[in-house]
Homo-oligomer: A and B are copies of this chain.
Amino acid sequence: MKEGPDIARVAALLGDPARANMLTALMSGRALTATELAQEAGVTPQTASSHLAKLEAGQIVKPRKEGRHRYFTLSGPDIVEALEVLMGIANRVGHNRVRTGPKDPELRKARVCYDHLAGDMGVALFDGLAKRKLIESDVNGVALTPAGIDFANGFGIDLDGLRAKRRPLCRECLDWSARQSHLAGSFGAALLDRFYDLGWARRVPESRIVRFSDAGEQSFRDLINP
């Protein structure tokens, strides 16, 4: 008999198109209701309910009851990690969904990865901050330099507040479309929040796309390439 963790059981849960669509939608970081997830997956509420029951039993998602809604979130960061790795593989071997809609180019350019910026602009942000020596990447991972700390404070980010949380400040996250690192962690999330607040960009509803205004994109370019 085989020993060890039963990866087939977990992988099978991620291996159904409808469930994969739901989980991908949850990577936006928002909690979604059962009905919303049904729409995301393109199935009826009954089918979605069956899938969600399976995902819940397998502890892939966590439900939270609120009024007559049930909101679902991913059960942990390891799920996000697994989905990202699988996306990387699917991308490498060319398993892309055949019908690449009009959204695809926008998605590759700038999208939200859980709560931080990914896509070409996410990678550009990471590289730009590194080139300006605001972040520094050593064997431990990424960290803010002293200059980076000054920058963050000047940019309106409450670093002390972020540090109080358990979550790491900076973290690399591999981008499936660009195949390079972008900036994750609470600092990465805070940066994206500031972009929203400054009006540089906004979320396109019902998708993971982050759309920059012309002026916002110019400001962004100035930021990373002064």
User: Which residues in A have some Cβ–Cβ distance to B below 8 Å?
Assistant: 1-17, 19-21, 24, 42, 58-60, 75-79, 81-83, 85-104, 107, 136, 138-141, 143-145, 149, 159, 163, 166-169, 171, 174, 176-177
Contacts and interface: CB of A to CB of B under 8 A. Distances in A.
A4 B24 contact: yes
B176 A3 contact: yes
Contacts of A91: 5
Given A140-B144, A140-B171, 20 more contacts: A3-B97, A3-B100, A3-B101, A3-B102, A3-B103, A4-B96, A4-B104, A5-B86, A7-B86, A11-B15, A11-B86, A12-B16, A58-B93, A58-B95, A79-B89, A82-B86, A138-B149, A139-B144, A139-B166, A166-B174
Contact of A176 (B4, B85, B92, B141): B4
A8 B51 CA distance: 14
Contact of A85 (B6, B78, B100, B139): B78
Which of A8, A12, A159 has its CB near the most chain B CB atoms (within 10 A)?
Answer: A8
Contacts of A6: 20, 90, 95-97
Nearest to A9: B95
A78 to B, nearest CB: 5
Contacts of A10: 15, 86, 89-90, 93, 95
A133 to B, nearest CB: 13
Nearest to A174: B5
Nearest to A167: B139
A98 B6 CA distance: 8
Contacts of A94: 59
A17 B8 contact: yes
A96 B5 contact: yes
Contacts of A16: 8, 12
